[in-house]
Amino acid sequence: MTHPSETDLALYAGQDLGWFGRLRVTRHLAGCRECRRAVQEFAAVSESLADFNELPPISWNRLANEMKANIHLGLSAGECVRREAPVGTLARAFSARALTAYAGAMAVLVASLYLQRPMPPAAPAAANGSTILRATANGIELDQGGHALSLLHEVSDSVTYSAGAQGSMRAGYVDADGHVTINDVYVQ
């Protein structure tokens, strides 16, 4: 006997399975006590989570008034722009506002290039008590004064490492069963 997947059972319990899948699972549940118990457990979890889906009360009248005010503001701004005297394309490209916008864009570009430039790697710590957090072939290693602690993960080609500027590192991967694992390590 082939059992339906846990995903199909969970969707069946939440009444989110398509009609054909629902028919197939219903026929299976008629003869399988184990799958019926799994569907009951999924339904119980679904009922307990239903309380978390409630939205806070929304004042629709206040929201409608805010939307009307924003529309009127946008229309007024459009009228201000429309009343401007037409200026030639070349003169508009070198107007004071355009030059200010160009200068601001250049400042943002220069700042982003400066902030994104690669930094030289830090020298490994000796046994002087400093802390190093690094990615290894098997996981994330925390080295403090010659004492190391390793958080190992399954060897996989799809491990993604990311490091934070405040002393954190994340390793995320998908194992052979399709489960996603994310490990976060923070240094203080």
Residue 125 lies in a domain: no
> What is residue 125's predicted lDDT score, i.e. its pLDDT?
47
Selected residue with higher pLDDT from 50 and 96: 96
Selected residue with higher pLDDT from 117 and 161: 161
Each residue of 99-134: pLDDT tens digit? 888 999 999 998 888 887 766 665 554 456 677 878
Residue 101 lies in a domain: yes
Q: What is the mean pLDDT of residues 66-71?
A: 90
Residue 103, token pair as written in the block: 């200068």
Residue 121 lies in a domain: no
Are 110 and 146 found together in one domain?
Answer: no
Decide if pLDDT at 166 tops 80: no
Residue 73 structural domain: 60-115
**Residues 73, 78, 81: CA angle, nearest 5 degrees:** 130
Are 18 and 40 found together in one domain?
Answer: yes
Residue 84 lies in a domain: yes
Are 74 and 48 found together in one domain?
Answer: no
Residue 126 lies in a domain: no
Are 136 and 168 found together in one domain?
Answer: yes
Share of the chain above pLDDT 90, in %: 17
């503001």: which residue's tokens? 73
Least confident of 6-20, 29-43, 70-84, 88-102: 88-102
Residue 169 lies in a domain: yes
> What is residue 35's predicted lDDT score, i.e. its pLDDT?
93
> What is residue 107's predicted lDDT score, i.e. its pLDDT?
93
Strands (E), the chain: 131-135, 139-144, 147-152, 160-164, 168-174, 180-186
Q: What is the mean pLDDT of the chain?
A: 80
Residue 122 lies in a domain: no
Last residue of a domain, one of 38, 53, 68: 53
Decide if pLDDT at 37 tops 90: yes
> What is residue 15's predicted lDDT score, i.e. its pLDDT?
83
Residue 89 lies in a domain: yes
> What is residue 153's predicted lDDT score, i.e. its pLDDT?
75
Are 101 and 64 found together in one domain?
Answer: yes
CA distance 1 to 136: 44
> What is residue 87's predicted lDDT score, i.e. its pLDDT?
55
> What is residue 61's predicted lDDT score, i.e. its pLDDT?
87
Are 39 and 73 found together in one domain?
Answer: no
Are 24 and 64 found together in one domain?
Answer: no
Are 99 and 80 found together in one domain?
Answer: yes
Are 66 and 107 found together in one domain?
Answer: yes
Are 39 and 81 found together in one domain?
Answer: no
Are 36 and 66 found together in one domain?
Answer: no
160 phi and psi, to 5 degrees?
-115, 125
Indicate the DSSP class of residue 169: E
Domain count, the chain: 3
> What is residue 28's predicted lDDT score, i.e. its pLDDT?
92
Least confident of 26-30, 117-121, 145-149, 180-184: 117-121
> What is residue 83's predicted lDDT score, i.e. its pLDDT?
60
Are 73 and 42 found together in one domain?
Answer: no
Decide if pLDDT at 88 tops 80: no
